[in-house]
Amino acid sequence: MKRTHVMIGLASLVGAALVAGSALAVPAVFSPTGHLNVRSGPGFQYGVVAQMPANTRFPVTGCIQDYSWCSVVVGNVTGWASAPYLVTDAGGKPTNLQVSGAQLGIPIVVPTPGAVVVATPPVGALVPTPALVEPILPAPEVLSYVTQQVVQPVLVDGEVMVGASLPAAVPVYPIPASPYVYSYVNGQRVVVEPAARRIVYVVR
């Protein structure tokens, strides 16, 4: 009888450990639309600390209260990615992380206070690319010119990536002897196709 109680007790402990292990499992996320910026804080005004290559999975460790930004681990860097651009198949089928984060039990985390970031209100929202788009490689002299110019950065809602279109309120500037223009958006310089205002290259 005593042996039976011991076996039941061991089975209960093993079951509890399995439940705890599954609860502590870290879901993986990926970006299906391109190289997604990972930033130092939960907002487009924060600097870029890493990129998530398209369709490459990385662990997510938590999200802010409304699941609009989530903490991800890319290599040895932990930063913040915009959840509307993140997909997870942890629930058995691909879903947007902002939609499924609460159901998957991803914990709510509070960002660690850092340097104060002063940002003007967004002037509009980027129109995201519907699918993965390959960048166009501008000539070296174009990239050199774009990186040397001093222009005022503009904040917009949405992540900077190839294929996204700039809102009308974002200023663009000509590039000598080039069919492209450029802009400085969310802390990143971008080369833009002027007719559609579509980003064709992100200067990194």
For residue range 63-73, what is the model confidence (pLDDT) as tens digits?
A: 999 999 999 99
pLDDT at 115: 58
Could you give the CA distance from residue 79 to residue 112 in angstroms, rounded to a whole number?
Answer: 11
pLDDT, tens digit (0-9, with 9 covering 90-100), for 139-158: 999 999 999 999 989 999 99
62's tokens: 């938590």
Q: Which residue has the tokens 């992100």?
A: 202
User: Where does residue 70 rank: exposed (0-12), middle (13-18), buried (19+ CB within 10 A)?
Assistant: buried
Inter-residue contact 203 to 156 (CB < 8 Å): no
Q: Which residues pair with 163 in a beta bridge?
A: none
Q: Quick one: pLDDT at residue 88?
A: 93
Which of the given ranges, 73-82, 93-102, 129-138, has the highest pLDDT on average? 73-82
User: What residue ranges do the domains of the chain occupy?
Assistant: 28-100, 140-202
CATH code of the domain occupying 28-100: 2.30.30.40
- Judge contact between 146 and 203, C-beta under 8 A: yes
Question: How confident is the model over 43-58, as a mean pLDDT?
Answer: 94
